[in-house]
Structure 1
Amino acid sequence: MKTFKTLLLTAFTVLCFSTSFAQQADEEEKLSLNSGTINNQFEFVIRRSNSWQDYKTVKKTWLYALKAHTIDSLKAVHKDLNETQAIVDVQAKEIEDLKINLSSTKTELGDTIVEKDSMKLFGIPMTKPNYSLILWSIVGVLSALLLFFIYKFKNSNSTTKQAKQTLAETEEEFEEHRRNALEREQKVRRQLQDMINEQKKA
């Protein structure tokens, strides 16, 4: 009975280890320097770099490739930001036009209220209530359009702010990584020089 339990426990441990190893291998295969997100590319460089004590030695070609990919990503963010800003500008102009139209319609409505009961609209005679109903319908449609464009403007503005924030975070992350990489490279060079000096003395 004890032997059976021991075998069962051993088989379970081996199965868990195999599953964990397979998942880790799958994750390693998904990482690439030339595809995937910037985060995955950084992870690729970190995992594939050689380790020495507490430091990582990174190939220069990897750093240059990573730099190029990061710059491409920043350019894409800048492009999206410019396109969003252009949309915001167009919508702001449309909102201003709608405000002018709405103001003009309200002025016309105020003028018609003081006129006679019998009025003509597009040459068609009609009662004042019907006339007012049509004009208020136009005002309602314009107001709805105004609210819609205000909503779209605010939404685009929010997208622009988010894109700017993402850009700032990406630039900060890249700068931090560049500083860390330079520091690591300088430390490795100093240590290599120290080792060379020690070899010469020996």
Structure 2
Amino acid sequence: MRQTLLSFTSILFFSILTGTSFAQTLNTAQKPITNVPTTTRTWQRDTVKNTDPSLNGQYKFMLSRTRTSADGYKMVAGYRLDQLWKSVGDTLKKERAERKSLQQKLTEQEKTVSYLKTEISGKDASLTENTNKVNEIRFLGIPFEKGTYNIIVWSVIGVLAIALIVVIARSGKSISEAKHRTQLYNEVADEYQAYKAKSVEKERKLARELQDERNKLDELNGRR
């Protein structure tokens, strides 16, 4: 759009300069002819209206409403040139206003983006802090990372499990040894009880035999 405006402006300046140069050339090159009646030509405004309000449409409409001089030059009505120049000026003002408005919007958007970046940075820092708090565990007032704490806890559990297995294994061995010794004790006790019973029975038998011998001895003494 800006290039189009510059093109139209250049064309208008060129048209004005060309018309001025042509007028000066005619004034200097042509000599006044005497005894020729001069006629004054007036440019009447036509009633045809332009249907295309764009600059290109106005320019083409202006060219279509030109007149050709006897020398083959195109003559443009001054009021149409003024209208086109006014349209160019209004368009430039509008473009400048829109550009200024866009610049202001861009500045506001940059401020908004900067503010949002600051907010995001603050939220990222807060999120990092909260994540660190979530991943941090305090034990006896000492801070530990969650992963480190889990490693320590599972290591302690593993050591305790190994110790428990060793204790159970040793206890099982001790229990087995105790059962074996208890069995040996029971066997010895049974043997002792059997031996004791045999001894008592043998003692009784010997006592009966001794009593029998005494009885026999008493009978022999009585016969004498």
* TM-score, shorter chain, exceeding 0.5: no
Per the shorter chain, which TM-score range?
A: 0.3 to 0.5
Higher helix proportion:
1
- TM-score (norm: length of structure 2): 0.38
Structure with higher RCO (Cα < 8 A, 6+ apart): 1
- TM-score (norm: length of structure 1): 0.42
